[in-house]
């Protein structure tokens, strides 16, 4: 098992395809529509204070916004600050490793959670029937990348961004990665009889086309078993709960050097229609933002040795309306905030163009406008960090490549041609019987 782990970073691609890199991309999706105007707040904007009322972040006191320098003329006339529960995030921003993109998102009129998430993750705004996810097309267009564990979802199932990628494995914890069989109640054996049988079947077969995939199944399981419990780096404190656990799972698998290229994490609970926060800046949403801030800080510091290879993107399906509703919450909106964190990020800057919050500047006179298409942010990361310029394949219908300068790296000539959906010609991890024990 450990021999397999040592060679896990080997990756191969067909000569005509983009060559796989050793970069690691992590997508964190805030499910439910995070309120970007509370995360990164235009705290001294008169329109913001009038429309938000008691939900506006306090202008003074212990819960006042944590002011940051946008380093962008479009944002400088307005004071911007992070929610008071996010000091860890401000530290990452001031260190130059974190960038924000405000007034960003899916340029589609939908206010449906399910439609918006599908459009974003499939990479085809307006079309939620696309048969693959944008991360799937990225991995496939690299020409049959072959590693022991190319993609994981640190959740119970892969998200739509990895739709139809056979190499993706959903794992909530390496220690609970197991096989669901008739022996599952025989705890003293820990499923070894069945696993031994699988090894013997696949190792003896020389003509069975599933044999190579079957052997990899047992290798993945053996490596997962060998990892044991996880101890983060000294001084690193993850938040308790499912989000912190998912971050630790990804960190452990990155450190195991299994060739992980893509990881996804879902963090839910952002649909704040009611009781979003108290007038003093405390309450449900600030607490949730604090968990996000602490988790990102712990995860990034835990992976200090990987900063030069690591790019983390945080996004949500849409933002919330500018105005407060009658239940002291906010309803589904439009423009939002994206975050990009990594060792090759040109941080300490808010990217994009601020459209303003006057009614005449709002989308439908109620929502923050979108001035940056989320695909432009991801396209820049694909080209400059992941070395994949096949943007027409990954984002069908994308008409232009307009990098904002968020990340450093070579600008490969973008290919915006609408190629047919690629097929995964390389090794696929075939894991038909994985079960999560709790």
* Rounded Cα gap, residues 393 and 414, in angstroms: 11
Q: Is the pLDDT of residue 2 over 50?
A: no
Q: Give me 337's structure tokens.
A: 């905030």
pTM of the model: 0.89
Tell me the per-residue pLDDT of 283-293, one tens digit each, with 9 for 90 and over: 999 999 999 99
Q: Is the pLDDT of residue 76 over 70?
A: yes
Which whole number is the average pLDDT over 372-376? 98
Q: What is the predicted pLDDT for the residue at 4?
A: 31
Q: Is the pLDDT of residue 354 over 60?
A: yes
Judge whether 168 and 430 are in contact, CB under 8 Å.
Answer: no
- Residue keyed to tokens 């990034």: 300
Whose CA is closest to 57, among 239, 285, 230, 229?
A: 285
- Residue 124 burial (C-beta neighbours within 10 Å; 0-12, 13-18, 19+): buried
Residue 98, beta-bridge partner list = 341
* Rounded Cα gap, residues 335 and 324, in angstroms: 16
Residue 214's pLDDT band (cuts 50, 70, 90):
confident
Q: Is the pLDDT of residue 5 over 90?
A: no
Judge whether 175 and 231 are in contact, CB under 8 Å.
Answer: no
Tell me the per-residue pLDDT of 382-412, one tens digit each, with 9 for 90 and over: 999 999 999 999 999 999 999 999 999 999 9
* Rounded Cα gap, residues 82 and 38, in angstroms: 8
Task: Tally Cβ neighbours within 10 Å of residue 126.
Answer: 12
Q: What is the predicted pLDDT for the residue at 298?
A: 98
Lowest mean pLDDT among 21-30, 41-50, 138-147: 138-147
Beta strands in 268-319 (DSSP E): 310-316
Radius of gyration of the chain (CA): 22
Which whole number is the average pLDDT over 325-340? 98
Task: Tally Cβ neighbours within 10 Å of residue 182.
Answer: 9
* Rounded Cα gap, residues 289 and 86, in angstroms: 7
Mean pLDDT, the chain, rounded, equals 87
Q: What is the predicted pLDDT for the residue at 19?
A: 52
Kindly report the three-state secondary structure assignment for every residue of 121-155.
HHCCCCCCCCCCCHHHHHHHCCCCCCCCCCEEECC
């Amino acid at each position: 098992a450990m021999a397999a782990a040592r060679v896990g970073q080997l990756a191969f691609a067909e000569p005509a395809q983009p060559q796989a890199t050793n970069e690691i991309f992590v997508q964190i999706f805030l499910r439910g529509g995070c309120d970007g105007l509370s995360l990164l707040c235009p705290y001294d904007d008169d329109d913001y204070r009038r429309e938000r009322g008691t939900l506006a972040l306090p202008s003074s006191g212990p819960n006042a916004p944590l002011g940051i320098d946008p380093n962008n003329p479009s944002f400088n006339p307005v004071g911007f600050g992070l929610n008071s529960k996010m000091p860890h995030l401000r530290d990452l921003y001031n260190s130059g490793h974190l960038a924000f993109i405000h007034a960003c998102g899916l340029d589609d009129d939908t206010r449906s959670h399910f439609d918006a998430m599908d459009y974003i993750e499939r990479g085809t705004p307006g079309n939620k029937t696309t048969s693959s996810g944008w991360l799937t097309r990225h991995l496939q267009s690299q020409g049959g990348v072959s590693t022991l564990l190319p993609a994981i979802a640190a959740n119970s199932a892969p998200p739509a961004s990895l739709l139809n990628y056979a190499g993706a494995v959903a794992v909530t914890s390496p220690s609970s990665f197991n096989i669901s069989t008739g022996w599952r109640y025989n705890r003293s054996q820990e499923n070894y009889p069945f696993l031994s049988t699988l090894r013997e079947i696949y190792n003896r077969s020389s003509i069975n086309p599933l044999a190579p995939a079957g052997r990899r199944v047992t290798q993945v399981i053996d490596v997962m078993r060998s990892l044991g419990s996880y101890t983060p780096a000294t001084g690193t404190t993850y938040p308790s709960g499912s989000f912190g656990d998912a971050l630790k799972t990804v960190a452990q698998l990155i450190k195991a050097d299994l060739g992980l290229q893509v990881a996804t994490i879902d963090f839910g609970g952002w649909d704040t229609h009611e009781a979003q926060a108290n007038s003093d800046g405390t309450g449900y949403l600030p607490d949730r933002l604090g968990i996000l801030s602490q988790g990102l800080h712990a995860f990034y510091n835990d992976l200090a040795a990987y900063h030069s290879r690591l790019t983390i993107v945080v996004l949500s399906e849409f933002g919330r309306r500018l105005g407060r509703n009658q239940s002291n919450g906010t309803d589904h909106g439009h423009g939002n905030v994206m975050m990009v964190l990594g060792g090759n990020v040109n941080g300490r800057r808010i990217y994009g163009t601020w459209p303003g919050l006057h009614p005449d500047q709002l989308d439908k006179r109620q929502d923050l406008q979108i001035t940056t298409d989320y695909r432009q942010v991801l396209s820049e990361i694909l080209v400059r960090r992941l070395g994949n310029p096949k943007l027409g394949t990954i984002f069908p219908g994308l008409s232009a490549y307009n990098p904002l300068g968020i990340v450093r790296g070579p600008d490969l000539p973008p290919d915006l041609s609408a190629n047919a959906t690629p097929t995964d010609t390389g090794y696929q991890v075939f894991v038909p019987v994985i079960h999560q024990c709790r």
